[in-house]
Amino acid sequence: MSRGEFIRLSSLSLGGVLMSNTLFANDFFANGTTSKEDLQLMKKLVQNNDAKVKSLLNQPSQDPSIRINNFRGIANTITVMSASLCNSGSEYYKSPLLVEKMNDAIAILLKDQYSDGTLDAGGNRQSPPDTAFILEYICPAAVLLNKSKQRDLTLLREKIKQFILNAGEAMITGGVHTPNHRWVICAALANINALYPDPRYVNRIDEWLAEGIYLNEDGHYSERSGIYSAVIDKALITMARLLKRPQLLEIVNKNLITYFYYTEKNGDLVTVDSKRQDQFMALKVTKFYWQYRYMAIRTQNPMFVYMVNTIEKLPEFTSDILSDSLAFFMENEDLQKQVPAESNVPNDFEKFFVLSNLARIRREKTSITLFGGNDQPVQIVSGRSSNPNFLMYRKGEAILKYMRLSTSFFRMGYFSSDGIVKEGNKYILTETKEADYYQPLAPENRKSDGDYKLSESSDGRFWNKMDFDSRTKSNVKKQITVIEITENNGSLSLDFKVDGPPNVEVTIEMCFNENSIVNGATADEKKNYFLKTGYGEVATAGDAIKFGPGKCEHLNVENLESEEYTYHQGSLRTNGEHVYITGFTPFRHQMTIF
């Protein structure tokens, strides 16, 4: 086997296992190729792109005295204007004004482009991956401008070519920060190579791909993030298409199936298990539209067709997709084809993602998410999962955004399960917390000046000049929390048990959607609701979630997050209607949600 063949095969590896080439040559690049153009969609894209152009033209010109540190807006301006300029259905077709504006925009990028081909992006200085994100906009614009026969585009084409080739040098040599950056750079290189072929671009792609693309059995990339899964899927589709490597689409296929299960009926994405910033964000599935559409056309998969149609019906579809996607549809003509007719897709399911320790359950109007897959020990940093939400529950428009549990046990914060064990229709979440005290140092470890090593305590709660590693632990305290959740046709039975030192405050926190109507609970002066007895109900737009019975043995619902947050005046409390059930250890409480 030649070195080139070895690299090519290695670049298609998935978790160390090589994928079959034959399946995808047949399935992904043969099906759907004779579909007619979706004329209605293309008309909407042109109309909305023109509206975006009009908005851009009404914006004030960039002040040359103000240095820019985020260039995506300027790059997007070039992409949007190039689409209208080159589309015969646009009111701006061959507009000299757009040519002038695009020349000004690319001049800004060239002026601030460093000699190594990079741009800055916020705090990232001379950033190869952020430059790759800019190329995601600029390269499709270059494709459209190069195809155009318009006479006054010569200077603009040359400027854009200069920017792209400069950036190409950074793509060949530059490094990355995060897993998805590798594939964004590879997609940028594939785009550049399609415009201005150079074997160095493909060699660099193969160098990155030789590391292997991680995708686990749950269908997740290593960052387990909705934001970056959409980014990676788009990058892999670009490489598969431009480099003729259809095997890469198997990875996309698996990830898109996973996000079918992660999508709520209103287009919200489940993000609780992400290892990146979106674990605390609200995201819409519109981020996956381009990817689902491409794969629906290629594979005819009814699940992907369903997702395309779902996204197109969302109110965010116009602002998120139609307003600035025309250039990408014009550059990739496969996207212009009609999506196959929608067929029935089972939308009543129970899906347990074992590696992610996340369960998704849907029963008609009811949608349930259970999560117990945080990275241990929990650390508050990008790249690790630390969201304490273990239960999310929806019934139509009534939404329990999250349920959490916290105790006052050494101020160690929220419950974070050590995974999930599934037994039939029961899900068991368990956590053990431990806090220690410390004995005097042995004679051989003592210092007369008391200047001991600055070190972390064994339980990770604090740092001091105490040389904890040389001390014997004593008076060790443990707290064991077990939450058993049983699902029955959309109704949940919850059984809470918290054992350990006595008289520790236990707080069950439920946060419902903003402006929900809360009944059956008592509010304090801060509008915290306490369910003291019986059942409560939270209603929104004609839908309601009932829960209880209640319990109220204390009113302390402040500083639930742990000292990692509160020491820095941080908080995990979000907007919404907060309802609490409280008690003391040994804590026992059973309740239902329906």
Torsion angles phi and psi, residue 398, rounded to 5: -80, 125
Q: What is the arithmetic mean of pLDDT over 274-281?
A: 96
Number of Cβ within a 10 Å radius of residue 441: 15
Would you call 449 helix, strand, or coil by DSSP? coil
pLDDT for 6: 34
| High-pLDDT (> 90) share of the chain, % | 88
In the predicted model, is pLDDT for residue 20 greater than 90? no
Least confident segment among 178-187, 226-235, 374-383: 374-383
Q: What is the arithmetic mean of pLDDT over 552-559?
A: 96
Least confident segment among 13-22, 183-192, 357-366, 512-521: 13-22
**pLDDT tens, 219-261?**
999 999 999 999 999 999 999 999 999 999 999 999 999 999 9
pLDDT for 15: 39
Look at 286 and 4; give whichever has higher pLDDT.
286
Q: What is the arithmetic mean of pLDDT over 75-98?
A: 98
DSSP 398-446: EEEEEEEEEE-GGG-EE---S-EEEETTEEEEEEEEEEEEEPPPPGGG-
Least confident segment among 64-78, 288-302, 354-368: 64-78
pLDDT for 387: 96
Give how far Cα 508 sits from Cα of 105, 549, 565, 570, Å. Answer: 53, 12, 19, 20
Q: Which of 17-31, 98-112, 456-470 has the highest mean pLDDT?
A: 98-112
Contact 116, 170 (CB under 8 A): yes
Q: Find all residues with CB under 8 Å of 230, minimum gap 6, and list them.
A: 287, 288, 291
Question: pLDDT tier at 25 (50, 70, 90 boundaries)?
Answer: very low
pLDDT for 445: 96
Q: What is the arithmetic mean of pLDDT over 326-336?
A: 98
**pLDDT tens, 536-551?**
999 999 999 999 999 9
Torsion angles phi and psi, residue 266, rounded to 5: -90, 10
* Assigned CATH class of 349-436+478-593: mainly beta
In the predicted model, is pLDDT for residue 555 greater than 50? yes
Question: pLDDT tier at 33 (50, 70, 90 boundaries)?
Answer: low
**pLDDT tens, 412-428?**
999 999 999 999 999 99
**pLDDT tens, 288-301?**
999 999 999 999 99
Sketch the domain layout of the chain as residue ranges. 39-60+67-196, 349-436+478-593
CA 328 distance to own-chain centroid:
22
Question: pLDDT tier at 34 (50, 70, 90 boundaries)?
Answer: low
pLDDT for 569: 78
What gap in Å lies between CA 384 and CA 355, rounded to an integer?
Answer: 15
Residue identified by tokens 């995506």 is 72
Q: Find all residues with CB under 8 Å of 130, minimum gap 6, and list them.
A: 118, 119, 120, 121, 124
What gap in Å lies between CA 182 and CA 236, rounded to an integer?
Answer: 11
Closest CA to 545 of 397, 369, 405: 397
Question: pLDDT tier at 349 (50, 70, 90 boundaries)?
Answer: very high
**pLDDT tens, 474-527?**
999 999 999 999 999 999 999 999 999 999 999 999 999 999 999 999 999 999
Question: pLDDT tier at 1 (50, 70, 90 boundaries)?
Answer: very low
Look at 379 and 199; give whichever has higher pLDDT.
199
pLDDT for 437: 96
